[in-house]
Amino acid sequence: MSKAYMVTEGRDYYQEMLRLGQDHTGRVRASSSRSRPRKVRIREYKIPDLNADPCLDMDEEETGEVVVGFRPQDADYSLNVPQLPYELEFLNKRFSRLLKEGKIFKVRRDRGVVEPFVFMRSTGDTSWTMFDKDFENYKNVPMLPLPPDSSFFLGDKESLCAGTHLIVTGNEGESIALWRYELETSQWFKGPAMITPRVLFASATFGTVAFVAGGLKMYGDTSKEVVNGAEKYDSVTKTWTRLQGMNKRRQFCSGCYLRGKFYVLGGKDENDNNLTCGERYDEGTDTWELIPDILKDASFSSIQSPPLIAVVNDNLYSLETSANELRVYDTNANAWKKLGDVPVRAKSSGGWGVAFKSLGDKLLVIGASAGPSRTEKMSVYTCCPSADPENKLVWEESKRSCDVQLNHFILNCCVMIA
């Protein structure tokens, strides 16, 4: 099987999987009856252009029979056969095996044809919803295999992505538990736990790995400790590695991966004081560099969320919640430049309930609309930002997401690049 074939089949499989919603098995529905012949149209298949649109064509005729084919084609044959041809059956089994082994996604990464998927959970949701980058297709992620009255199920949770893994952490009784969802198999697994389990930490994703730093370590019901420890998760080996600790202890902080380094901004120290400094981690030297006053102009309130930050095209952007305003960081001046308004209401909740993420070469913001209608439904906006304040911001609202009934208050949101 060529790499080009594996890459394109992987892309087509997940676009079709998202379109089908709940049906994530990847199996073609077929009748078990052998009493009547099935009509299967077999078309000549060529290795497609990786830059072309998905070409998997799966239709169902009025008779309820399944028609399987590929576009483009040079020949169109109609055969009456009693069951799926052996070659197609073998191909489906082989593809499923390669998918579960993670080889499809590895080839995609090696060839640079990855794309973002958005995992999100809002108030009232019992499971995550997975969207494609255009919010045109979606599917419900299977629920966690936990009883609905468990403390982990009911409590606050945090999420991040690494490779094809969605990592979710939260309190489970007197401890902190971690669950991972694997895209290849669409299944949940418990662990592996962090070396230092924590909540309220900063995180950032880089390819198949994720970095975490800071947070709150809990001992039983009452004892808590703000930490400065850092770790790295490798989704290929499913292991955590301890990193050098930060200069400052901090919780309620935010992280990003910028120009080859892991940044941690803001948060509160062990005395509950707001931190205006940041730090950046160099994996090559396993060292942290303090960045004084990177948030010196930020506004703080009693209900303030962790900083809302995102990286697009090697530029760091923030959503200043006190003004519903987009800003960009000037590394040389250690200052933030104002770029314009953001079309969601972040001020009233101190930034809580708003998703602000990078989505390839775009910024993604989700929340309650700040427009004249001020509806309480979930609104999704994207823009291609410019670091030049002279360039006007153009936000585009995704109308396709209106078919999804989610609350406007977003509890968890993270972007998977797979």
Measured between alpha carbons, how far is 405 from 385 in angstroms, rounded to an integer?
28
Q: What CA–CA distance (Å, rounded) separates 298 from 308?
A: 11
Burial (0-12, 13-18, 19+ Cβ within 10 Å), 148: exposed
Backbone angles phi, psi at 179, to 5 degrees: -125, 150
| CATH no. for 158-284 | 2.120.10.80
* Per-domain residue ranges of the chain: 3-104, 115-144+297-418, 158-284
Q: List the pLDDT tens digit at each of the 418 positions of the chain.
A: 544 444 444 555 455 445 444 443 333 333 333 344 433 333 333 333 333 443 333 333 333 333 333 233 333 333 343 445 555 555 677 767 776 767 777 777 778 778 899 999 999 888 999 999 999 899 999 999 998 889 998 899 999 999 999 999 999 888 899 999 999 999 999 999 999 999 999 999 999 999 999 999 987 667 899 999 999 999 999 999 999 999 999 999 999 999 999 999 999 999 999 999 999 999 999 999 999 999 998 888 888 899 999 999 999 999 999 899 999 999 889 999 999 999 998 887 889 999 999 999 999 999 988 766 556 678 999 999 999 999 999 999 987 665 677 788 999 999 999 8
Q: Note whether 276 and 298 are within 8 A (CB).
A: yes
Q: Is the pTM of this model over 0.85?
A: no
- Give the chain's largest Cα–Cα span: 76
